[in-house]
Amino acid sequence: MPDRIIDICLGTAFLAATLPVSATAALAVKLSGAETVLERHNRTGPYGHPFREYRFRCSGNGEVTPIGRFLIHTR
């Protein structure tokens, strides 16, 4: 039980720390003219289990946008 509480506290702290940066990136992607902010990809994880990966959209119409280029270089 204490491990679960620690996981929840650390997850909440990480979310609070990264939320301003993620919100700023989402706003920049949306203002760059992308139709959607997030891309969804199906990936295969450990032991062959599929999962969905969400990433900020970095390209529009086949070309990498300036905001997308910045996001790629600052991963």
For the chain, what are the domain ranges? 2-73
Going by the DSSP 8-state scheme, the letter that residue 51 receives in this structure is: E
pLDDT tens figures, 18-27: 999 999 989 9
CA neighbor of 67 nearest in space, from 36, 25, 35, 39: 25
Interval 44-65: pLDDT, tens: 999 999 999 998 888 766 778 8
What pLDDT is recorded for position 12?
97
**3-class DSSP string for 18-65:** HHHHHHHHHHHHHHCCCCCCEEEEEEECHHHCEEEEEEECCEECCEEC
pTM: 0.70
